Structure 1
């Protein structure tokens, strides 16, 4: 429809002038119209600069601002996922919730796969005839925690690393924040799975210290190398430790649940955490080793 094209509906342009009358423009500017009328009016406004010019003075500043804000949100702001909405309802700041929700380790597909692996491990532990049946669970739970954390320490797996490059937070703070979120969720998932193991209560949480140890070691390595070799070295060492500690005559077929071994792993976790703090500058390097630019004006 051109400026002089006659109207085709009662709610449309005036037949004699080919333009929208003032009353119709005022009604459109002041309050919502029926959908059919609004569509027809907007279609004419899209093609008629004269009517757009006549409409502009009728629109209040607050209305225009509200409309532009709606357009900005619809075109620029990503839709909030379930994780982000839950975090916001718990009082988490918006920028922190968005930063954490963008992690690949917080995708439902990742957690679904982790839950499935742990369920298989629990099922094998319950149906196994040997005492070493739960060993698979105690091997998988710490490994999955480390893998989840490794996925948030570099741009190889993290599609949101560009955001982090301009984040006012230091690289270490971002890493620790995201690692804490992954650890808490993995803690809940592993605890639920451990409740199904055919073991005494004193042994059900034998995976906790190894999980913290592997996570701390992986973070320390990630400060100086890419996430892939870091998690590869961590899991390779973990596999060697599982092989050495295997003993079919003890609970779950591994010495990892013995108090002295748990204390040794706790000591390694503390040392690795200290190394993360000492090597924190590695998380502020842009490239394969991290995602942030040099720490200028950042919060340490």
Structure 2
């Protein structure tokens, strides 16, 4: 890297030294990844801007005394490497897709073994994966999004429906090639997620999700556990067309009611 360009970058006087703003911006991106250029920038700064260098050294020393030592973890290194070629918001989407695919594999294995316990959790497992993917530890924009009024269960449901709508067709195509059916176990999750969003556009989203969850527990989980039998018939592969039709119908209802989320209902409580 030309030393003149590094001097322009350090002194922030690209216009006078012949370096354009675009060149300085590209240089900054290069310096962040190049250890040799970082050392040369420090040398140029110490030679031509000793006051700024001394100030930064004092600030660094005080921060090192006040802050606890940073422990580097492997996932942080992986995230740093990925950030070089992908946007930071790309990570949670990839993690959500991976976790939902794993959920599909686990649930399809439970269905093959005629094990009802995991299948009864089919509507909730993908939502948990989505919630974890956009948690404060993995989403770089978590604090910014958490301050918006549309955060909460509604956001988790919307993200879950988006990821499920992406994953299910891909898994269906892969299952058609391999002769398996991992996508079928995700259809109840997509249908109930769309049902919660559609019902939540009429009533409160919390009430809609609570009612659907209570109905699933009352009419699906408890009877199955009470009988002590295997997977109920409406969670088997033969019920997939019905779930797919319900998901498509409810998905259309969500699209038609999308404006209801832009203009939420006013609370019925009266202000005195």
**TMscore range, shorter length:** 0.3 to 0.5
Larger RCO, structure (CA 8 Å, separation 6 or more): 1
Identify, as 1 or 2, the structure richer in helix.
Answer: 2
Structure with higher Rg: it is 1
TM-score normalised by length of structure 1: 0.43
